[in-house]
Structure 1
Amino acid sequence: MSSWLGTDTRGRADVRLVPAALVVWLATMAGLLLGWWWSAVGAFAGAVAGLVLLARARGRPAAVRWWRLGAAWSLLACSLAVGIFGTPRLRTAADDPLRDAANVGATGTFRIEIAERAKPVFSAGFGGRQGGVRAVILRARLVTAVVGGRSVPSTGAVVVVAPSDRWRALLPGQRVAATAALAPAEQGTLTVAMLRVRGPPREVGEASVWQRIAQTLRSGLRDAAGVLDPEPRGLVPALVVGDTDDLSPQVVDDFQAAGLAHLLAVSGTNLAVVCVAVLLLLRTLRCGPRAAAAGAMLALVGFVVLAGPEPSVLRAGAMGVVGLLALAVGRQRAALPALGVAVIVLVLWDPALAVSIGFALSVLATGGLVLIAPRWAERLADGGVPRGLAQALAVPAAAHLVTAPVVAGFAGQVSMVAIVANLLAAPVVAPATVVGVLAAVVAPVASWPAELLVRLAGPEADWLIFVARHGAEVPGAVVAWPTGWLGGLLLAVCVALLLVALRWRRVRVLVAVMLVGLLFVVIPARVIAPGWPPDGWAAVACDVGQGDAIVLSTGEEGRAVVVDTGPEEAPLTACLDRLGVSRVPLVVLSHLHADHIGGLDAVLSDRAVGGVAVSRARVPGWAWEEVRDKARDAGVPVVQLSAGQRLSWPGLVMEVLAPDDEEVMPAEESEGTEINNASLVLRAVTPAGRVLLSGDVELAAQARLLDEHLDLSADVIKVPHHGSRYTSPELFAAVRARIALVSVGAQNQYGHPSPITLRALTGTGALVLRTDTSGDTAIVATSAGPRAVTRGPSRSPP
């Protein structure tokens, strides 16, 4: 059977190159992880195995002799190549003199050649620090190095951590100079040192014409994608050319949890999709086989230029060639040797690929595509499943199972929804990729056709985000798993046992019954009717990470007041969607720190909003301008609140306790503490009791509240400043809350909440609930007083 999977399930696989590919891969991996001499040991072992096969080929039947001779000579040749080319490179990197300077944290002046495009490091806003990309990571090669006034003879690979400004725009092949502090490189790689740079690059060289063309095309695609909403705007360039600069961190998390993260990087799939589209077009135009093949190869080269001829892209190109070859010849025997050649050539060319997670995933996924998926599709078709559906089911299942051990060992988690998510995503990936590539090509010529093409890709991007988000939110979508080699091997054993067990009919029936039970009993019980939000909820502390977002019901269906919006848009959007909030009469921003205003668009863009309320404080300046501009663009007025004001709705009364009009507001140059102390302090009177919302007030503002002898008593307190240690026990004693809500991000770097603060809270008898461990937390009214109902965290913390 020749199918779109590109294999012939009746032909036996030609595995003669597999031993040689494994020797090259494993010997190089051992040399990187255990010491360069292990590469020589592996090469020697491969050569011995080749000689043994060569000796045992004599006197055998022709077919056996043919196989053993091919395997033997390939083993000998590849072992020799590892010994001559691979091992010396590993030794040179291991003995690089710059490593000694890096171990003592020396500073020097370096001239480097950029090897890959900058990868942005996203930082969520917190306090007065604006969120966004503030640093980038680049891989480079040393040209010259001067440390302590002395020249260091090194041309090794380095990793550069630098400010986003100006460094982000550098292209592969450009040479720059910089002063940097050295740090030790990660173990098990060819990298000899890490360079931490503070200033801009100097003596910037010119990029090649191909790199400049590629950058122009990528920029054109990114600009054209600006016509889409924020999340699909960042996804389209990532999906098409692996450009993740504008990708939302929430989308990245959702794609990882749903097992779709491979779509965010350039892979062999991207290239195969483009090449197949060109093949079909040329065949439709009645071009001959050779012309069609030449056109597909030109398309592949062009796509590599577009995405950037970097090691990761070239690796994907090699894998794309393998997939294309399998598709073209329709034979398993041709695809597997091509995969073996790709592994051998790539690892010898760049030994660092031997320990690359991306490389391992590419090889395994391609192997699953050409070896396992066709057999499974054939068996499903023989069992009565329509052939097209059988192939659609077999591909994601095979790819997920063979790559799951690597993902589990690396990420410490297993996605239980990946097969279904990939099945749902597959139909839109190819059209989105083709349309996106066309948009990138035409963007430099005319913007409006590019924008039109991007709009055509918008629904596909929306669908992928929908699948990833809802897949990530399925209970049990992600299962924690041991990390490292042990975790990967453990899952590999489990997968192997499962595959062996499924060969017996009774086991298959049992597994099918379990899956049906899961589908029709467990999932509907927890997803279709999850019991969230609880009936009669009065207030909800949303799980938005390291920030605040409190939702107060007004007693009217679909209406609620939102106090603070967290650091990012997506978590608050998800929380409001779960609560069914469509109208927001008022958004209150307690103060203008990034972790309280970052998600403002989540409210303004999708819901009817009556107004945005702030205090008299207008710092930091960038934050005030951002709030004002967003409110103006949404046509929403900005109002000012001060102590003594009282706002009411049918089921909610909100009192402003602080700051008053006489309090001195912080100046633009004020520190974070002064801005925190200018927070609005509110008390909400709800059917479930009184809720004190304290913003981020610290000791000075807390003392003012106590000195003014205000009635601070409340049934529920939103603990100030995420449970910071700068909180007075006297405040908790004055409030006498029964429930304390701590809005905090999992494993945050600030040490929130402080154990001292938690002990002070529990000392008052309050029930302490944290959003990082409890997720969204609702307060509901009961005859015995307020009760807390938790939803549970959306997924396991990283």
Structure 2
Amino acid sequence: MALPAPADLRLPWLAAVAWGAALWGALRPPGGGLLLVGAASVVVALVALTVAARRRASDLSLTSPAVTATATLLVLVAMVTSASLRTGGAGSGAVAEVAARSSPATVVGSVVSDPRPVASSGFASAGERTVVVRVLVHRITAARGEWDVRSTVVVLGEGAWEDVRLGATVRFRGVLATADGDAAALVRPRGEPTVVGEPDVWWRAAEVVRAGVRDAVAPRPRDQRALVPSLVVGDDSELDPELADDFRTTGLTHLLAVSGTNLTLVLGFVVLLGRWCGVRGRGRLLLGALTIVAFVLVARSEPSVVRAAAMGAVALLALAHDGRRRGIRTLAVAVLALLAWEPRMAVAAGFALSVLATAGILLVAPVWRDALARWVPRWAAEAIAVPAAAQLACTPVVAALSGEVSLVAVVANLLVAPAVAPATVLGLAGGLLAIAVVPVGQLVAMPAAWSVGWIVVVARWGAGLPVPSIGWGTGGWPLVLLTALCVVAALTAHRLLRRARWSLAAAGLGLLAVLVPVPTPGWPPHGWVVAACDVGQGDAVVLNAGPGAGVVVDAGPDARLVDRCLDRLGIEHVPLLVLTHFHADHVDGLDGVLDGRTVGEVEVSPVSDPAESAAAVTATLAERGLSPVVSAYGVPRQVGDVVVNRVWPEPSATPQALAAAGPNDASVVLVATVRGVDVLLTGDVEPEAQRGLGRTLGALEVDVLKVPHHGSRHQSVEWLTATGASVALVSAGRDNTYGHPAPALLDVLRGAGMTVLRTDRDGDSLVVVRDGGLATTALPAVGTPSP
């Protein structure tokens, strides 16, 4: 594989040094001693260079080793110093000092991010959503004084905080707490914010454009209505988490946020319009610069958007000036400029993905394209090589973030590529027109909605394949191995691609890999009694009822994930399915349990709330000739190798009382015995119902506890610890927005002597009878990362 000439590697070398130095400075801020050593090294190098210059002026050419070495040293010290000072600065100053004392304060600052509601952060009041807002503080007043500052804080508000506007100046009072990362503090506000200054005109204009894009697709189906603003201007506020999950699985996540591709398409479209209107020469450059500025304002001037703008500008500039020859040097300049602007970007995964993808397209894609062009049309070779090279370059970073390697990403990106340009350009054009005349804008944006509709189809199809991805460890050695494999593939794959027979054979093996699940040797282990399936943010528990049979309690939120878990366990017959209550995270995966298996009885909660979800469950079961029933209270039943007994809700509870308690506290609670092991399955019961169980049943001792409500912090810890369980199973989704499981609760459970298994980190979690005692084992997730 041909590489650039050695002289062309000077700028990439400096960019790599800058990246490594900024990474070191951000992750391990050095002390003053290291900075002094670095500064002294620069002085020594400059003195040596001056002496050499006097002896032989020719040595000072720009290509001389002395100049390169000095430049390397300067970049190294400058980046380490800048990154460490920026990282250390976030945790110092007046705001950090007030936060360290957990003191209340009055804050005046500018809103620098759009309010982002999340379901819960553990801070919100009952019935309220937490709203996350970043505020650049200008002035802070606390008990010990008043300071003019410039520090960023993260506000965890609720209610009226959803309505604050980006760019507005607000005053509020709250309690400050220490924070990790680049924020000086976390703030829990007291009361509503007071707006003391409206956003500047450019922020108001940007919001008009964003509203226009939303209006242009308002009549379209939900997924299209959410995805067009996300693709065009990075507005993902209405995006369905399950759809975002499908995009992650199929390697299409870059379409859910502003990327360099977006800017390249928009910039190319604007420049083309300018040419049609007679704009030439420097006027075209000025038009391009104004377009970049406007794009950053509309998409929000966050580091990720600035990064995307830089990468888009690199792509366009490289295209205009022989990108194959100069692209890598242009990319290196962009990396240096971005790190000089914000050194802490070195630790951002998005920065790494952008740089690696661009480098893969510039370095690897041309070689692969030329190899493929020997036996396929050149346009087809380019269409295959570009997404494949970008995906290969990003694979180690993606695996480090998600713990998996996508098997369908290249095909998915290839299929959606023709739809990205019309979706972006027509979506933006429709939004601009909708500002003046909404019907015209909706007409123009209609093809954009159709285009994203196709993208949604591809994402759902790819994620629905039997094996869309494979699990991969996130530890050091697995990632080193994966990186080595990717380097080998980048250097050698062109030899395979130039031969049609071998390429088609490799494609056939890839197709087989995604269509035919490979059995996991030794799984499930002999003697397993209960399994908590990794189904994301939801519950699905399986009790071993005999060879090929399992009692399933809840179906999780995703049919594919519960289906795969049951397949891995070898479950072909479900003699009893229990749906503890009708929340989506317990019943939306019902099809995954039913498809391809025989199901006996289906038992449900006595409270049909939410009503829509309960009706959907009834309809789904009716299609398969099944009818849900409410299980009998206090009547142990033998189901294969399992004895099941419902212990909650109490039969004395009236329908009105159950309805008032809500679906969580009306969850079916079971005590099951599997081969002598007692298991308590708690649904989502909350403290009131837990205390009710304690009053009704007294001391209930079991071996295995399924922790209620995904490990929420709202628990009766006295009741949970009184069970005397030796194993606690927690079913929660990776990186969920609820704060589940609560660290404090896990500490309590471990302090009570329980071994805690959590599906968000451990994957499918099993309890096994081994040598007369209980053991635990887990299978890291294979498939979609949890929402």
Give TM-score scaled by structure 1 length.
Answer: 0.68
Of 139, 143, 152, the residue aligned with 2:138 is 143
Contact kept in structure 1, 2:553 and 2:580, CA below 8 Å:
yes
Matches within 5 A, 1:540-559: 544-548=535-539
CA distance in 2: counterparts of 1:109 and 1:671, whole angstroms: 39
Q: Distance in 1 between matches of 2:90 and 2:693?
A: 57
Q: Counterpart in 2 of 1:480?
A: 473
Structure 1's 455 and 755: CA in aligned 2 closer, same or farther, altered over 3 A?
A: same
Task: Indicate the residue corresponding to 1:246 in structure 2.
Answer: 238
Conserved in 2, the CA contact under 8 Å of 1:160 and 1:197? Answer: no
Report the Cα offset of residue 110 of structure 1. 1.9
Contact 1:678/1:701 (CA < 8 Å) preserved in 2? no
- Alpha-carbon separation, structure 2, partners of 1:617 and 1:243: 37
Is 1:166 matched up with 2:154? no
- Match of 2:149, SS state, is coil
Q: What CA distance in whole angstroms lies between the structure 1 residues aligned with 2:13 and 2:449?
A: 48
Q: Secondary structure at the match of 2:139?
A: strand
8 A contact 1:20–1:79 mirrored in 2: yes
Q: Is the 8 A contact 1:20 1:74 kept in 2?
A: no
Q: Which amino acid is 1:748 matched to? A: P
Determine helix, strand or coil for the equivalent of 2:193: coil
- Check conservation: 2:249, 2:468, Cα contact below 8 A: no
Q: Could you tell me whether the CA contact under 8 Å between 2:167 and 2:199 is conserved in 1?
A: yes
C-alpha contact (below 8 Å) 1:232/1:461 kept by paired residues: no
Separation (CA, whole Å) in 2 of partners of 1:127 and 1:147: 24
- Partners of 2:8 and 2:250 lie apart in 1 by 34
1:298-313 matches, within 5 Å, as 298-313=290-305
Query: Cα distance 1:327–1:241, how it changes in 2: closer, same or farther (>3 A)?
Result: same
- The within-5 A match list for 1:776-795 is 793-795=781-783
Distance 1:743 1:95 in 2: 37
Q: Is the 8 A contact 2:416 2:455 kept in 1?
A: no
Superposition deviation, residue 694 in structure 1: 7.5
Q: What is the CA deviation profile of residues 389-423 of structure 1, one whole-angstrom value per residue up to 9, with x for unaligned ones? A: 33223323332343344445555555455444433
Checking the alignment, whether the CA contact within 8 Å between 1:480 and 1:796 is kept in structure 2 is no
Aligned equivalent of 1:234, options 216, 223, 226 = 226
Whole-angstrom CA distance in 2 between matches of 1:642 and 1:509: 61
Measured against aligned partners, the alpha-carbon deviations of 1:8-63 in whole angstroms (never above 9, x if no partner) come to: 9999974554455455545544443323755676577578768878958998999x
CA distance in 2, matches of 1:40, 1:142: 32
Name the residue aligned to 1:687.
Answer: none
Which residue type is aligned with residue 435 of structure 1?
A: L
Q: 2:172 aligns with which of 151, 173, 178?
A: 178
Letter in 1 for 2:132: V
Question: Comparing 143-152 with 225-234, which one deviates more in the overlay?
Answer: 225-234
Deviation of 1:162 after TM superposition, in Å, equals 1.3
| Amino acid in the other structure paired with 1:459 | G
Q: Deviation per CA, 1:261-307, whole angstroms, max 9, x where unpaired?
A: 33322121110122233445666788767666665554434322321
What are the equivalent positions in structure 2 for 1:321-332 lying under 5 Å apart?
A: 321-332=313-324
Q: 1:159 to 1:512 in 2, by over 3 A?
A: farther
Structure 1 position 277 matched with structure 2 position 265: no
Q: How far is 1:234 from its partner? A: 3.5
Contact 1:27 1:43 in 2 (8 A): no
Query: Over aligned residues, Cα RMSD in angstroms?
Result: 6.7
Which residue pairs with 2:113 in the alignment?
Answer: 116
Q: SS of the residue aligned with 2:731?
A: coil
Q: Which residue in 2 is equivalent to 1:744? A: 731
Work out whether residues 95 and 185 of structure 2, in 8 Å CA contact, stay in contact via their aligned partners in 1.
yes
Closer, same or farther: CA 528–327 of 1 in aligned 2, 3 Å: farther
Partner of 1:134: 130
- The question of whether the paired residues in 2 share the 8 Å contact of 1:590 and 1:679 is answered with yes
Aligned-partner SS, 2:184: strand
Equivalent runs, 1:8-87 vs 2, <5 Å: 14-22=8-16, 24-32=18-26, 33-35=28-30, 37=32, 65=61, 67-68=63-64, 75=71, 82=78, 86=82
Letter in 1 for 2:365: A
SS of the counterpart of 1:200?
strand
Aligned counterparts of 2:72 and 2:566: Cα–Cα separation in 1: 65
How far apart, in 2, do the equivalents of 1:393 and 1:214 lie?
Answer: 36
Distance 2:84 2:10 in 1: 27
Flag the 1:168–1:471 CA change in 2: closer, same or farther, 3 A: farther
CA distance in 2, matches of 1:401, 1:452: 34
Find the residue that maps to 1:443 and give its secondary structure: helix
5+ long unaligned stretches in structure 2: 524-529, 544-550, 568-576, 595-601, 636-643, 673-678, 734-739, 767-777
Is 1:315 aligned to 2:310, yes or no?
no
| Residues in 2 aligned to 1:355 and 1:741: alpha-carbon distance in whole angstroms | 35
The one-character-per-residue Cα deviations of 1:701-726 (angstroms, maximum 9, x if unpaired) are: 5876899xxxxxxxxx9979479988
Q: Residue 465 of structure 1 is aligned with which of 451, 459, 466?
A: 459
Mapped contact 2:604–2:630 kept (Cα < 8 A) = yes
- Counterpart position of 1:363: 355
The secondary structure found in structure 2 opposite 1:117 is: coil
- Are 1:679 and 1:694, in contact at CA under 8 Å, matched by a contact in 2? yes
1:102 has 2:92 as partner:
no
State the match for 2:198 in structure 1: 206
In structure 2, how many angstroms separate the alpha carbons of the residues matched to 1:769 and 1:151? 46
Q: Give the distance between the partners of 1:771 and 1:34, measured in 2 at CA.
A: 31
Q: Residue type of the partner of 2:653?
A: E
Matches of 2:532 and 2:480 in 1, distance apart? 40
Superposed CA deviations along residues 767-796 of structure 1, whole A, max 9, x for unmatched, are x9999977599xxxxxxxxxxxx9995538
- Alignment check: 8 A CA contact 2:111 2:166 kept: yes
Paired with 1:97 and 1:124, the residues of 2 have a C-alpha distance of 26
Output the CA distance in 1 between the equivalents of 2:466 and 2:42: 44
What is aligned with 1:787?
Answer: none
Residues 245, 325 of structure 1: alpha-carbon distance in 2 compared, 3 angstrom cutoff: same
Query: What is the CA–CA distance in structure 1 between the aligned matches of 2:337 and 2:49, rounded to whole Å?
Result: 23
1:747-758 alignment to 2 at 5 Å? 748-749=741-742, 751=746
Distance 1:331 1:797 in 2: 36
For these two proteins, the number of residue pairs brought into alignment is 731
CA contact (8 A) 1:405 1:491 kept: yes
Partner SS, residue 387 of structure 2:
helix
Q: Say which of 180, 184, 187 aligns to 1:195.
A: 187
Q: Distance in 2 between matches of 1:692 and 1:145?
A: 51
Deviation at 1:207, TM superposition (A): 0.6
- Say whether 1:663 aligns with 2:653: yes
> Who is 2:423 aligned against?
432
CA–CA separation in structure 1 for the residues paired with 2:270 and 2:467: 37
Seen in structure 2, the aligned counterparts of structure 1 residues 576 and 209 have a Cα distance that, compared at 3 Å, is farther
Distance 1:83 1:774 in 2: 39
Q: Which amino acid aligns with 1:183?
A: A
Listed one character per residue, the Cα deviations across residues 640-686 of structure 1 (whole Å, up to 9, x for unaligned) are: 96969x9xxxxxxx9999757753467599778xx7564457999xx
Q: Which runs of 5+ in 1 are unaligned?
A: 1-7, 533-538, 553-560, 581-586, 619-623, 647-653, 685-690, 708-716, 734-739, 761-767, 778-789
Task: Supply the distance in 2 between the matched residues of 1:700 and 1:94 (Cα, whole angstroms).
Answer: 46
Q: CA shift at 1:203, angstroms? A: 3.7
TM-score, structure 2 normalization: 0.69
Identity of aligned residues (%): 32
Which string of whole-angstrom CA distances, capped at 9 and with x for unpartnered residues, describes residues 732-788 of structure 1? 99xxxxxx997833683355997899999xxxxxxx9999977599xxxxxxxxxxx
Q: SS where residue 325 of structure 1 aligns?
A: helix
CA separation of 1:679 and 1:322: change in aligned 2, threshold 3 A: closer
**Which of residues 371, 389, 402 is equivalent to 2:393?**
402
